[in-house]
Every structure is written in structure tokens, then in C-alpha cells.
A and B are shown apart, each in its own frame.
Chain A
Amino acid sequence: MTITSFTALPLSAQLKFLYADGIYLSKRKISEKTVILYQLNQSYIELFYLQYRCNVISIRCSDNVDILNPYLEDIPTYKLFI
């Protein structure tokens, strides 16, 4: 499934699709809100929650790896050198 066809789906169908075929990668916090990152084929999909695992307020899709940057910044790389 391409990003274009995925984004054309209604939210409920997108979530069903992600639930069945998405690969969980990571999560991050923006203030009190949680964002969960999934991989679906060659694309990355972020779910923005108003309430964790309950209310999705928006979805962002991209095939650009730049979407990973906020998650990579959260990895404590100093531990690799201990």
C-alpha cells in the first residue's frame, strides 16, 4: 500500500490496517501528548494521541527518514561508549 492510498482511507480503516500490518517502532512525548511511530511497508506513520491508545487526533505519513529524527534524538547514545 502506498502513502497516497493509505491516507485516502478513513481513520478507522487506517487504524485497522496499522493494527494488522504495522510494525511498532517507537514512541515519543510532546508535552503530555503521546506520539507512536509505526512502519508500514516502506512508509513511516505517526499516530498523535489526545489520550494514549484511545483517541487519535491526527496521523502523519511519510516515506522520508527525516520523520525518525525526533526518535533518534531520544536514544541515549552515550551508553554505547560505556
Chain B
Amino acid sequence: MIQSTSLKHIVLYADDDIDDLKFVEQAFIETMSNIELVMVKDGVKAIDYLHRLSIFDPGPCLIILDVNMPMLNGKETLQRIRKMERFENIPVVLFTTSSLEQDRNFAIKYNAGFVTKPLDSLQMQHIIDQFIEHCSDEIKKSIRRKSN
């Protein structure tokens, strides 16, 4: 039997906007001490990452998907993730510039969260909390926040 223990929780984040990737990465670095952010540039790469995980590899505790991406957008990626047995119940958040009701309803239909991209640092602090709120209770307890 092989067991692997990861000291860090993995969050998979797919976004084609390099500015948003850097921005979210910085926000996690500043607020969380035991999260490893894996960043990919589109939905295809996100699905590919998940497919490449062996049963011994730790899966992400949370997947964050931008909605508007080339190749495979966030909604399509979410649909594919929900068809993967290992990840059919994994916490997913659609992270988008949209605040449209139809996008929000889509997220609800596929058991995902819906978070609108922030406009300033004050909103970002709340958004990291919203991300973490979607993780399982067990993960939430073990996530270590950096003190200010």
C-alpha cells in the first residue's frame, strides 16, 4: 500500500487572464500558509491535470474556474469535471467578471459556487474567504491563515 501525505492543500485555478492568475496567486500567498495553487491557462489544461493524477496523488481540495476561457470555457469544464467519478463532488467555484443570473443558476445546477471577480483589495479579502468556504469542513479546519 502506498500512502502519500501532502503538507499543503492543492487549489487548481484555471484562467486565461495572466493578470488574474497573478492577482489570485498573490492573494493566496498573502493570506494562506498551507495552500499550493496550481494554475493553468484554460479548461483543457485543467481537465488534463485532473486526468493525469494517479489514485495515489492528492487531488485538489478546490477548483476555481474562470468562465470565459478559450478552448474549453469554465462552464464546459465544470460539466466535464462533474462527469469524472473521482471529482464529481469536488468543490468548484466559477470565478468570473459576470454577475449574470443565468451564470449563477448554471453554477447552482452543477453544484458549484459562483464568485464575481473583485474590483479592489477590500473585496478580494472577502473573496478568498468565499473560496475557502466552499471547501469541505475537514479542509477548512486544517487551512492555516497567515496573521496580519
Interface set of A (CB-CB < 8 Å, partner B): 12, 15, 18-24, 27, 34, 36, 47, 51-56
| Distance in angstroms between the alpha carbons of A60 and B19 in the assembled complex | 21
| Distance in angstroms between the alpha carbons of A16 and B99 in the assembled complex | 12
A52 in complex: contacting residue of B19, B99, B122, CB < 8 Å: B19
Is A47 touching B119 in the complex (CB atoms < 8 A)?
yes
| Distance in angstroms between the alpha carbons of A53 and B19 in the assembled complex | 9
| Distance in angstroms between the alpha carbons of A9 and B118 in the assembled complex | 19
Is B97 touching A53 in the complex (CB atoms < 8 A)?
no
| Distance in angstroms between the alpha carbons of A56 and B23 in the assembled complex | 14
For A24, what are the chain B residues with a Cβ–Cβ distance below 8 Å? 97-98, 117
Given known A-B contacts A21-B99, A24-B97, A34-B19, A54 and B124 have beta carbons under 8 A apart? yes
Whether, in the assembled complex, B34 has its beta carbon less than 8 Å from a beta carbon of chain A, the answer is: no
For B20, what are the chain A residues with a Cβ–Cβ distance below 8 Å? 53
Whether, in the assembled complex, B6 has its beta carbon less than 8 Å from a beta carbon of chain A, the answer is: no
Is A52 touching B120 in the complex (CB atoms < 8 A)?
no
Is B23 touching A55 in the complex (CB atoms < 8 A)?
no
In the assembled complex, how far is the CB of residue B138 from the closest CB belonging to chain A, in whole angstroms?
A: 31
Question: Can you name the residue of chain A whose Cβ is closest to the Cβ of B122?
Answer: A12
* 8 A-B interface contacts by CB (under 8 A): A19-B116, A52-B19, A52-B22, A53-B118, A53-B119, A54-B121, A55-B121, A56-B119
A56 in complex: contacting residue of B99, B117, B120, B124, CB < 8 Å: B120
Whether, in the assembled complex, B123 has its beta carbon less than 8 Å from a beta carbon of chain A, the answer is: yes
| Distance in angstroms between the alpha carbons of A18 and B97 in the assembled complex | 11
| Distance in angstroms between the alpha carbons of A78 and B120 in the assembled complex | 35
For A20, what are the chain B residues with a Cβ–Cβ distance below 8 Å? 99
| Distance in angstroms between the alpha carbons of A24 and B17 in the assembled complex | 14
B117 in complex: contacting residue of A15, A53, A55, CB < 8 Å: A53
Question: Can you name the residue of chain A whose Cβ is closest to the Cβ of B26?
Answer: A54
In the assembled complex, how far is the CB of residue A6 from the closest CB belonging to chain B, in whole angstroms?
A: 14
Is A19 touching B19 in the complex (CB atoms < 8 A)?
no
A15 in complex: contacting residue of B22, B97, B120, CB < 8 Å: B120
